[in-house]
Every structure is written in C-alpha cells, then in structure tokens.
Amino acid sequence: MPIPIFNSVASFFLKRRISQIELFKDYPIEVQQEVLRKLIVYSVDTEIGKKFDFKTIRHYNDFKERVPIVAYEDIYDDIERNRKGEQNIFWRTSVKWFAKSSGTTNAKSKFIPISFESLDDCHYKAGKDMLSLYFNNNINSQLLAGKCLRLGGSRDIYENNSSYYGDLSAIIIDNLPFWAELSSTPSSKVSLIPEWEDKVQAIINESINERVTSFAGVPSWMLSLFQKVIEKTGKDNILEIWNNAEVYFHGGVSFEPYKSLYRNLFPSKDFKYFEIYNASEGFFAIQDQNNSDELLLMLDYGIFYEFIPTNGSEQEIVSIADVKLNVNYAMIITTNSGLWRYKIGDTIKFTCLNPLRLKVTGRTKHFINVFGEELVIENAEKALSVTADLTKAEISDYTVGPIYMGSKTKGAHEWLIEFKKEPQDIDKFIEILDLNLQSLNSDYEAKRHKNSTLQIPNIIIARKNLFYDWLASKNKLGGQNKIPRLSNSREYIDELIKMN
C-alpha cells in the first residue's frame, strides 16, 4: 500500500477511536465494571479462578473480599512455573512472553507475564490512542506523512523453556503489527540489536535520511541517541536534521530534569511533548491535551484499577467510583495478562475526576529512576553493606541523588556518605559498589553497560555529624525522622553538600 494512502486510511481510523474514548470518559464506572466482569469470566477455569471460585463472583465487593492483594514476591513461584511451560495458572490463553524488569528484594529481575491479549488490547491499542489523542489536539498535524523514530529493545529476546523474555520494548517491537512497522524507523532488526553502541550507529545510518515526524522513547536513552546524532552530523540541533519533526512521546522516567536540554535540541515553540504512563505490567495513561502535565487514565485496555491511600491501609482500597482529588494513592491493577490485584509500586494522585486525569507522584518504596534504572532502596542497602564488608569500611549515613545529563555529558549517581571508618582506597570502594549494584539490579546494569547512559557513581565523603546537623537544622531530630536515602531530585543532596 503506498504511504500516502496508508496515512489517509490510518488517520481516518485514529479519529474514529476518539468517540470510544469519549464513551469511557462519560461512563467510567460502567466501563470499568465491564472490564472486571470480562476478566473474571475469561479466567473462571484457570488455577486462580478455581482457587477463588470466580464462578460465583457477581460484583466488585465479592471480588474485593475474596481475592487478596499481592506483590511480585507473593506470586514469584507461580510465575516461575509459568516461565517453565506450565499454563492456565493466571490466564486462560498461553503466556509465553515475559517482560524483564528491575529486581525486587529477593531477585535481581522481575519477569512480568505478557499475554497476546495484553499486547493487542493494551500496548498496541495504547500506541494507536497516543496518536488519536495527538491528532484530536492538532488537527493540521502531518505526523503520518513521515515516520516515528522509536527507541527501545535495548536487550535481545532470549529463549528459555519455551518461553521468551526481554525488555518490554523489545517484546512489543518483536511482535509489532504491520501498520506500526510501516510507520516506524528504524527497522525491527535494528531496534533489537543488543549492544547499545552498535544499535545507535545502526539507527543513525538507517534513519538519518528518513522523513521523521515524531520520536518515542525514554528521555535519558533518547538524549544519548540525540547527542550521538548531533556529534555525527555536526548540526546544532535535531530540527536541523529532521525538520519535519513535531512531537516527542516520552515516558518511563520523570521528564522534569531533561526539559531544558530538550528545548535546546528542539528550539521551536511549535514542537510538542506528550507524556505517557506505562510499565512492564501495562499501559495506563496518556496526556490528552497539548501543553498539559495531566494524564488521562485509559479505562478500556483490559486493566481494572483499584487505589489505596498511601497513608491508609488495604481495608481502605477503592475503585475509580470512590477516588478523591489530590489524595496520594498506591495503584493496584488486575490485567489481561493474569495479574490479579497486583501492587505495581507506583503512586498517583487524581487532578481531575471528570474525566479521570492523574499525575504520577512516585513509588511506594524509596527509589531513584532518573535514567530508567529503577534502583530501589533494597538494592542500595544490600550493595552498600556488601561493599563495606569487602573494603572493611563502616558507614554511618548516606544519601544518593542524580547527576543530570548535560548536552554532551552522561548521567550518574552521586553518593554522599558519612563513614565511621573510611575505606583505605575510595576508588576501589566506588568500583566494588558499582559492580554490586549491577549484580542486584538488571535495569541499573543495562544503563551502566559500556557507560551507555550512566557513568560510574561519584562519591563525596561527608564530614562527621553532617546528617545529624542537617536534621537538626530542620527540627527533625528524633526516631521518626529519617534521612532520605534515594531521590530523583538533587534537593536533599545539594543542601547536604552545602553544609558539608
């Protein structure tokens, strides 16, 4: 099919989708009730369906009272059975794909089941909706007259016991429908190159002469690619290379630290940024208005949502029918990949109830995720403990913040550590700490691979009693007040460095 004809047909169907989106905006409770009903009916004869007697569940209260809330650790053994070939555990159809995500307390990596239904009805549907909502806001867009430069699949797809695992982006690209492949660059073959440096060069070679009208990817990785493109071409900004570009779809990490860098890369007031909210477990929300920091919760992707106030208990869990404005909620999901009342670990707050729009506010655990590394507190504590033992050091206190990427520099983590007993060789301490972090967290390891996105950590040695003095300056001395260990901003670490 010639590209112009394809663009016209695609544009027509994308605009038709808006009426369906308007439907769930007008009837959110009814749409979510129907999603839950279908998930339960579809899974009646699975192991979990029999265990909790799905046949007799008639409404949400039955479901809430009968099915427990779980974290990854709670279903780890069943996921491992599934990965080894057993089926019909969580979901009726065969699940053979698993998205590799950052580790937990007891494992380096998580493996999130991905069903064919979730690929079609969630991830690919969301990709089309992302375009539909953009077109709805920008009726004169020429987006489909060119291609989307996508960046993902930083790992290869591996086979193990008749199941496959890899980054979610790699799974999505490896299974792309023809319409998405036609409108994307680079090719799937290039997108799935495992080595970052090789991939970047191949992307540049294959895409540099394409008519690129949009970009999609994690800000930290995309910035690294753009730096290489400018280095290779000698141009001053990306619009000098792809002058038809009009929008960047971003997600995965906070965009806040990167805004000024991207404005330099795209020096045009007409260039747009659209945020998405997705994870290995599903695709949840999309920015539906130009120049907005609110995301529309997508209610018909085969995901049923529940929310727990972060200052409350599991007994206070609510569906969308009872959420309130500006309350910080931990999000619980039930999905068409067979995750049932699963704690995703994210926190959100609703900024609008009609329609349901939200902002992502953080995680239920301390973490740092400026570059897509998803380093959680358990990883940091374990790595630091092992490193201290190996170097015969003793640690009193510490905090970690990001060193943001510059226009020509890569990011890093900066550790401010107060030692009770300093290591003999601080450079060796840094090297061992870095290796331990990589061994505990696969996402951190990927970002550190060949310094692709993250450079080796920087450590500043804190003076004696620095952290005590900092707490005292804020009138926060006492057992209930703690040092913020991991942060996505430099707010805490900069204050402490200034006092150091």
Q: Supply the pLDDT for residue 370.
A: 86
Calpha distance 326→349 (Å, rounded): 5
- Boundaries of CATH 3.30.300 in the chain? 368-499
Residue 402 identity: P
Q: State the CB neighbour count (10 A cutoff) for residue 185.
A: 20
478 dihedral zone (left: phi>0; alpha: psi -120 to 50; beta): left
Q: 307 in helix, strand or coil?
A: strand
Q: State the CB neighbour count (10 A cutoff) for residue 16.
A: 10
Tokens 């690919």 correspond to 124
Calpha distance 18→27 (Å, rounded): 14
Residue 16 identity: R
Judge: domain 1-364, CATH 3.40.50. Answer: yes
Burial of 483 (0-12, 13-18, 19+ CB in 10 A): middle
CA distances from 66 to 38, 76, 384 (A): 17, 20, 41
Q: Supply the pLDDT for residue 361.
A: 79
- CB 174, CB 192: distance < 8 Å: yes
Calpha distance 475→461 (Å, rounded): 24
Q: 390 in helix, strand or coil?
A: helix
Task: Supply 478's token pair.
Answer: 């006492």
Q: Supply the pLDDT for residue 493.
A: 94
- Boundaries of CATH 3.40.50 in the chain? 1-364
- Strands 212-217 and 147-150, by their bridges, are parallel
Residue 255: HSE in the Cβ half-sphere, 13 Å Cα cutoff: 20
Q: State the CB neighbour count (10 A cutoff) for residue 480.
A: 5
Task: Please state which CATH number belongs to domain 368-499.
Answer: 3.30.300
Nearest to 329 by CA among 292, 359, 299: 359
Calpha distance 132→135 (Å, rounded): 5
Task: Supply 417's token pair.
Answer: 């550590």
Tokens 């005292």 correspond to 472
Calpha distance 474→286 (Å, rounded): 38
Q: Supply the pLDDT for residue 213.
A: 97
- Give me Rg for the CA atoms of the chain: 23
Low-confidence ranges of the chain (pLDDT < 70): 1-14, 102-108, 153-158, 179, 257, 364, 476-482
- CB 335, CB 303: distance < 8 Å: yes
Q: Residue 416 forms beta bridges with which residues?
A: 399, 460
Q: Supply the pLDDT for residue 478.
A: 46
Q: What secondary structure does DSSP assign to 171-232, as a single string?
A: HHHHT--HHHHHTEES-HHHHT-SSHHHHHHHHHHHHTTS-EEEEEE-HHHHHHHHHHHHHH
Calpha distance 291→30 (Å, rounded): 30
Tokens 């491992």 correspond to 80
Q: Supply the pLDDT for residue 46.
A: 97
Calpha distance 146→201 (Å, rounded): 21
Peptide bond into 186 cis (omega under 30): yes
